[in-house]
């Protein structure tokens, strides 16, 4: 498993060293965060903080993945490359959004329709390719079936599966985007999920059906390389979090949040744990639900359930310190990831 260690270590070092360079470069070029005047007033002091920091950990993760394969002389796999494609493609959509915000000096970037279109195009390419490219054993990166701990139920067909994958990709990329907003919150929350996928991929490798056919084995095409992808992104994210932790010296922007949502969705699809991601990334799901509840309540009754949505801003307006919210939400994220891992391993417990 040396390639997992190499990927994580290289990602960490590259991001740790690259982020301060990006801070200086972005500061000189005036690439700073714009803050909504009607938002939380305490955030007005963050105006001008360098943003688009997601570029750093996306590039660091890509280089770390490549370095791990160069060091071990093992070729990249289709599954790993597809997940990285999804991460990079959605990161590019986020980059356009961030660039427009900076260029036009406003807090809103791409129009919602254009942003959704970009996510759908990248997601559709991924959805089509992930059911193709079988290996020598005929195993493709994904099957046209819904999965929980493994594939379940009958095939839903390529059209149904594409729609389902698009829902996952758009849903989780936007969920991480909504979780972003407080210094280090999204980084820590997604980091817990990535750590879980390092373990899940490794466990699937040790119990794959090719080496030992059994009732609980996994028909996952490239579990080891998916662990490498998760480790590369995790290492890069930790290096970025060093500079993004409160008080943040740089923000990831939509470049980072959409990319992270993409890699989580991609890992869930390729490891065939799609529904399990709802539990693993439970904090992101809760925060997204808070927005849905807030909007739905206001449209139907004219009343708000929370002082402000997403949920983290509700607690800010209640007087909680930003660091208190971030640490407590990190704890919730870790508990959700631990619960998801517990469910993943439960079927291996003696009956």
Dist CA 19 CA 13 (whole Å): 10
Round the CA-based radius of gyration of the chain to a whole number and report it.
Answer: 20
Dist CA 309 CA 304 (whole Å): 9
Q: Which residues of 323-341 are buried (b: 16+ CB within 10 A; e: fewer)?
A: eebbeebbeebbebbeebb
> Does residue 97 have a known ligand-binding role?
no
What ranges make up the beta strands (E) of 86-193?
A: none
Q: How many CB atoms are located within 10 Å of the residue 181 CB?
A: 18
Let me know: does 76 contact 87? Beta carbons within 8 Å: no
C-alpha pair distances (Å), 192 with each of 174, 185, 334: 18, 11, 6
Dist CA 73 CA 76 (whole Å): 9
> Does residue 211 have a known ligand-binding role?
no
Which residues are 208's β-sheet partners? 218
* Residue matched to tokens 């997992």: 4
Residues belonging to the binding site are: 177, 254
Residues belonging to the binding site for Mg(2+) are: 177, 254
């Amino acid at each position: 498993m040396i390639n997992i260690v190499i990927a994580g270590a290289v990602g960490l070092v590259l991001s740790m060293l690259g982020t301060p360079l990006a801070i200086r470069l972005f500061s000189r070029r005036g690439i700073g965060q714009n803050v909504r005047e009607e938002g939380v007033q305490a955030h007005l002091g963050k105006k001008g903080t360098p943003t688009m920091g997601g570029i750093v950990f996306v590039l660091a993760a890509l280089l770390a993945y490549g370095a791990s394969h160069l060091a071990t002389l093992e070729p990249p796999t289709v599954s790993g490359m597809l997940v990285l494609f999804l991460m990079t493609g959605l990161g590019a959509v986020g980059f356009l959004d961030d660039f427009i915000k900076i260029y036009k000096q406003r807090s809103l970037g791409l129009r919602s329709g254009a942003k959704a279109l970009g996510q759908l195009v990248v997601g559709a390419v991924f959805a089509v390719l992930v059911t193709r490219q079988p290996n020598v054993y005929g195993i493709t990166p994904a099957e046209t079936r819904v999965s929980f701990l493994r594939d379940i139920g009958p095939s839903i067909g390529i059209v149904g599966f594409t729609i389902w994958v698009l829902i996952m990709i758009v849903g989780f990329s936007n969920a991480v985007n909504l979780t972003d907003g407080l210094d280090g919150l999204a980084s820590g929350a997604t980091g817990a999920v990535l750590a879980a996928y390092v373990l899940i991929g490794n466990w699937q490798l040790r119990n794959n059906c090719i080496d030992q056919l059994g009732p609980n084995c996994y028909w996952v095409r490239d579990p080891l390389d998916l662990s490498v992808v998760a480790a590369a992104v995790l290492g890069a994210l930790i290096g970025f979090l060093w500079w993004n932790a409160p008080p943040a010296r740089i923000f990831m922007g939509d470049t980072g949040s959409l990319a992270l949502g993409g890699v989580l969705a991609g890992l869930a699809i390729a490891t065939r744990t799609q529904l399990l991601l709802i539990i693993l990334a439970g904090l992101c799901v809760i925060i997204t639900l808070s927005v849905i509840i807030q909007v739905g309540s206001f449209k139907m009754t004219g009343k708000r359930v929370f002082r402000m949505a997403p949920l983290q801003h509700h607690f800010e307006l209640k007087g909680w310190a930003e660091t208190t919210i971030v640490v407590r939400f990190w704890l919730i994220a870790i508990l959700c990831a631990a619960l998801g891992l517990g469910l993943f391993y439960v079927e291996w417990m003696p009956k």
